[in-house]
Amino acid sequence: MARVILKPGREESLQRRHPWVFSGAVQGVKGNPAPGETVDVFSSAGQWLAAGAWSPHSQIRVRIWSFSPGEAIGEDFIRGRLEQSIHARSDLLSRDDFNACRLVNAESDGLPGLIVDIYDRFLVCQFLSAGAECFRNAIVELLAELVGPASIFERSDTESRTKEGLHERCGSISGKEPPELIEIIECGARFLVDVRKGHKTGFYLDQRENRLALREYSRDAEVLNCFSYTGAFGISALLGGAARVTNVESSSEALALAGKNSAHNGVPGNAFQSVEGDVFHCLRDFRDRGLTFDLIVLDPPKFAASASQIVPASRGYKDINLLAFKLLNPGGTLFTFSCSGHISPALFQKIVADAALDARRDARIIRYLGQASDHPIALSFPEGQYLKGLVCTAP
């Protein structure tokens, strides 16, 4: 195999089993590896460190497959990693109170760049790195064998593929075409999911446990659900006994599906209303009209896609949290989230604290939230902790 030689002193992260080698750490390459081809990584002193997938177009030049000397990276290796990932979710998959979860969570499951979600009998995959792309056909065949889904649909239509030098791709790759909407079950709630055009692979599976937590704070509450997408947090609040939910979302298509989800769960029309518009503008309008709420959910899209966007993203997070604190009734509860991996948990807490200070609210954190258990975070890969949430209350 081709060899990637690191600069002196740049081997420490691999010795601590971090799965990425950045371009700035590479001293040279022996051989001419193709994109996605497996390469050996050596220290400047000639010590073998790991084997990984070469990606010449990305700032992450090598994504590590294995730290075990002599382990062959091929179809048997991929099979083993897929089997481990599926087995790790066996308890979830055997439950009858929900039927959708993440089966493979990329680096944290030892399969860099690969996302696999299951919605009832349908799999949705994302091949987001050159290495995952290289094994694409084998992965599809193995998933069909190991899971036996009705179909496998690909949603490799994200910007991250462009950074890997790959074209975006979307469509069925195995089995029959999935239906326009797939019904999933989540602990008493039923949601219709559009895996073809919806956000991510169709639904925010990573928020499952946080939606359940929301029910605990919803009894008799007037709820404001911001960046509501297809209304999942709002419906969860109503199942927890909320009096009324107002959803705010800029996408008319998402709100239309939220309406279907509402009807699907037997929600009375007067208890579930939606406002189409920019959340920043709507929150200011609510403030100016003197509206207040007992429970507010802020679940915005990723504000910082790169490190260069941290400062403007921080301003955006502070703005919406400041407005939310102003709209929150005394003793009310704020569920606030960031899914930007470049915003650390400490920075996010500081942003929310500054927002509360400017709103003149003496807020307290009563609960920390994160991504669901089927979205694990490898201890050696802190970047895997992208979803951060705070539950705050203010007198």
The residue written with tokens 């301003």 in the block is: 315
Report the pLDDT value the prediction gives residue 269, as an integer from 0 to 100.
79
Q: Which residues of the chain have pLDDT under 70?
A: none
**Of 125, 134, 282, 339, which one is the catalytic site residue?**
339
User: What was the pLDDT predicted at 322?
Assistant: 98
Say whether 101 is catalytic.
no
pLDDT confidence of residue 143: 98
Residues in Cβ contact with 153 at an 8 Å cutoff, skipping those fewer than 6 apart: 122, 123, 124, 125, 171, 172, 173, 178, 195, 196
* Burial degree of 211 (CB within 10 A; 0-12, 13-18, 19+): buried
| Cα–Cα dist 191/100, whole Å | 10
Strands 26-30 and 3-6: antiparallel
Residue 200 CA to its chain's centroid (Å): 8
Residues 383, 341: Cα–Cα separation, whole Å: 6
Nearest to 336 by CA among 362, 304, 363: 363
Compute the distance between CA of residue 157 and CA of residue 195 in angstroms, rounded to an integer: 12
* Rounded-to-5 percentages of helix, strand, coil across the chain: 35, 30, 35
Residues ≥6 apart with Cβ < 8 Å to 72 = none
Least Cα distance to 239 among 215, 272, 210 occurs for 215
The whole-angstrom separation of Cα 195 and Cα 249 is: 19
Q: Do 139 and 82 touch, CB atoms closer than 8 A? A: yes
pLDDT digits (tens, 9 = 90+) for 112-135: 999 999 999 999 999 999 999 999
* C-beta neighbour count of 148 within 10 angstroms: 10
Query: CA torsion 307→311→316→320, rounded to 10°?
Result: 110
**Cα 166 from Cα 351, distance rounded (Å):** 35
Domains of the chain as residue ranges with CATH: 3-66 (2.30.130.10), 75-175 (3.30.750.80), 204-394 (3.40.50.150)
d(CA 260, CA 255): 9
Beta-carbon contacts of residue 87 (< 8 Å; ≥ 6 apart): none
What's the residue count for the chain?
395
